Amino acid sequence: MIINIGSKNPVKISAVKNAFSHYFKNIQINSVKVNSGVSSTPLSLKETIQGAKNRAKNTFKNCDFSIGIEAGFFESPGSDTGYHLTSYTAIYDGKRFYLGGSPILELPKKIVQEVLKGKELGLLIDDAMNLKNNKQKIGVVGILTKGILHRQKALEQGIITALCPIINKKFYKDDKKT
C-alpha cells in the first residue's frame, strides 16, 4: 500500500506509519512538501479541515491514499480563552475524504491572544519554552500534558479515527463523503 503524506515533518510521518500499521501490512510512505492553502494557524474548524483536505488532495498521485494533517484553533464558548486547539486528518482515496480529529486542548490565554494577532503557534511555544522546532518533537500537547501525551500519539488518534470508514466499510457503505 502506497501512502503519500502532505508534510515533511517526521512526527507526522511516524504517526501515519504507526496508525496505518495497526490495519495494513507492507506500507510505503512518501512525504511530499505541500502548502495547506490556509493560514499558518487556522482560526476555525472549517479552515483547519480545509487545510487538511488541501494537503491530502494536493499530495494524491501514484498512491492508494494521501493524507493531510492540519492543526488549528476553533471557537469554544465557555472556555476561559474562547478557543481550543485540535488537529484534523484528511485521508483521500482519489474520490472521497475521510476525516478524523485529535484531542482538543485549551491553550494559555497569552498564547491565544498572540495567535489571534497573527503569530504562529509553534514559534510562540518555542519562544515561551526556550525550545527549537518543538512541532517536530513532543509538540504543544506534549508540553502542556507534561510529557504524557506527545504530538505523535495525538496525531495517531486523528489518523485512526479518520480510518474508521475505511476499515469498517460495512458500517459506512451507504455514507457519501465529499
Q: Break the chain into its structural domains and give their ranges.
A: 2-106+149-172
CA distance 177 to 96: 6
Alpha-carbon distances of 52 from 21, 69, 71, 78, rounded to whole Å: 21, 5, 8, 27
Q: Pick the closest to residue 159 from 8, 11, 60 (CA basis).
A: 11
* Per-residue pLDDT tens digits for 28-80: 999 999 999 998 889 999 999 999 999 999 999 999 999 999 999 899 888 88
Q: Pick the closest to residue 3 from 17, 15, 22, 18 (CA basis).
A: 17
What's the pTM?
Answer: 0.89
CA distance 146 to 143: 5
Average pLDDT for residues 15-24, to the nearest whole number? 97
Angle (CA) 162-84-109 rounded to 5° is 155
* Overall fold of domain 2-106+149-172: Maf protein (3.90.950)
Angle (CA) 105-152-149 rounded to 5° is 50
The pLDDT value given to residue 77: 87
Taking 70 as the threshold, does the pLDDT of residue 134 lie above it? no
Alpha-carbon distances of 139 from 37, 59, 71, 143, 152, rounded to whole Å: 22, 24, 11, 6, 8
